[in-house]
């Protein structure tokens, strides 16, 4: 096998749970080969670099082996080389916006004014650490 569809390869290496999700990612412009956005039907060859925006992070893969069928995770890792940069300070700041929120027990009803102020103060204290 010399070439394979990009959506099929992304599904086979277990980056996406379904081929439909891989196709939608390509259509949304989240998948690029050598820096250019691609359609799901783009043929992928060994040695190309694939950039994928997945779960609020950028991933970069170098294609080592082409596979057509979905295989176990240990076998899938052998098909690509992960060139993604390690987490940096910018991504740490982004993660502050996805920080955990105050949880209330089920059945306790709406928060009172006092509860609301405490929640707001808790949220302000957490985010102030990132901006100072």
Q: Give the per-residue pLDDT at 90.
A: 56
Q: Which residues constitute the domain of residue 14?
A: 4-85
Q: Give the per-residue pLDDT at 126.
A: 52
Alpha-helical runs (H) found in 13-88: 19-27, 73-77
- The encoded tokens of residue 50 equal 């694939």
Same domain, 27 and 81: yes
Same domain, 52 and 108: no
In degrees and rounded to multiples of 5, residue 102 shows phi and psi of: -65, 135
Same domain, 11 and 42: yes
SS3 47: coil
Same domain, 61 and 39: yes
Over its length of 132 residues, how does the chain's per-residue pLDDT go in tens digits?
789 999 999 999 999 999 999 999 999 999 999 889 999 999 999 999 999 998 778 899 999 999 999 999 999 999 999 998 876 545 555 555 555 555 677 888 888 899 888 877 776 555 555 444
The CATH number of the domain holding residue 77 is: 3.10.290.10
Separation CA 27–CA 10 (nearest Å): 13
Question: How many independent structural domains does the chain possess?
Answer: 2
Separation CA 20–CA 7 (nearest Å): 8
Q: In sequence order, what are the residues at sequence separation of 6 or more whose Cβ sits closer than 8 angstroms to the Cβ of residue 48?
A: 33, 34, 62, 63
């Amino acid at each position: 096998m010399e070439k394979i569809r990009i959506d099929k390869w992304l599904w086979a290496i277990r980056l996406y749970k379904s081929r439909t999700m891989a196709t939608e990612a390509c259509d949304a412009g989240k998948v690029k080969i050598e820096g250019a956005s691609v359609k799901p039907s783009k043929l992928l060859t060994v040695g190309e670099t694939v950039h994928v925006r997945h779960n609020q992070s950028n991933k970069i893969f170098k294609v080592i082996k082409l596979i057509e069928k979905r295989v176990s995770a240990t076998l899938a890792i052998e098909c690509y080389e992960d060139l993604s940069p390690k987490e940096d300070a910018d991504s740490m700041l982004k993660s502050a916006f996805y920080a955990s929120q105050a949880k209330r027990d089920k059945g306790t009803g709406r928060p009172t004014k006092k509860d609301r102020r405490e929640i707001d103060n808790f949220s302000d204290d957490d985010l102030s650490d990132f901006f100072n």
